[in-house]
Amino acid sequence: MKQITQLGATVEEAISLALQQLKTTRDQVEVEVLQEGKKGFLGFGARQAEVRVTVNEMITEPIVEAPHHEENIQEETVETVEFEVENEKEENPLDIAQDYLQQIAIEMGIDDLSIDGKIQGKNVLFKLESEKAALLIGKRGATLNALQQLTQLVVNKSSKSFLMVKLDVENYRERRQIALEQLAERMADKAIRSGKKVSLEPMPSYERKVIHNALANRVDIETYSEGTEPNRHLVIEPVK
């Protein structure tokens, strides 16, 4: 039986992180909320949400064949196939995600959102365009990251297999990666000059990975992460 305990800023975020680690979907697990999250006031009294997620065990029951005429069996088979095809159309992850994103955009006051989506294996990629792109991105991509996590939850709620959703607005991800790589080099040089470790601001795991990779070939410093989500941050320390 697979089971993990996960922390997050909210219950939904904790569940999403747990599903990613277990590589499964929401309908295949049991969730026990151990602690509700709390934002606190001006950073004081904040408390992370904590959940315990358990993967359901598959139980296979023996199939008992009932007496049917061959014609009835053929008719039922055709009906079953048609029903499954209809369900597949209804649960198209691209359609689900696009409908959800359009609804969120309208609530944000964005009425010109254009979405280009495609599926590559287990990845669902969306490129968003709008005159109000800054609203979709938010400060240092915070809004975009939140939209990505929520969209992933919505998609996997009805998906038969786990899908990883990625959102991008006007190539923000690429521009952010370049900025992070430049930041990595500056902070590494600062650590060497000062002889002291440098702690960066909290970042999502994939952004920390960008910095790890950018500095992987340097032998004069080492990088590692400290803290717990969502305040986990990267540290650059000179090698002595």
pLDDT digits (tens, 9 = 90+) for 37-52: 766 433 434 577 888 8
* pLDDT given for residue 219 in this prediction: 94
Which residue ranges form the domains of the chain, and what is each CATH number? 3-55 (3.30.30), 81-170 (3.30.300.20), 173-238 (3.30.1370.50)
Q: How far apart are CA 69 and CA 67, in angstroms?
A: 7
Helix (H) or strand (E) holding 104: helix 93-107
Helix (H) or strand (E) holding 35: strand 29-35
pLDDT tens for residues 81-93?
444 444 444 568 7
164-169 and 123-129 strand pairing: parallel
For helices 93-107 and 142-158, what crossing angle results, to 10°? 140
* pLDDT given for residue 39 in this prediction: 62
Residues of the chain with confidence (pLDDT) below 70? 1, 38-46, 58-91
pLDDT tens for residues 176-193?
999 999 999 999 999 999
Q: pTM of the full predicted structure? A: 0.55
Buried b (16+ CB within 10 A) or exposed e, 46-61: eebbbbebebeeeeee
What's the gap between Cα 118 and its chain centre?
17
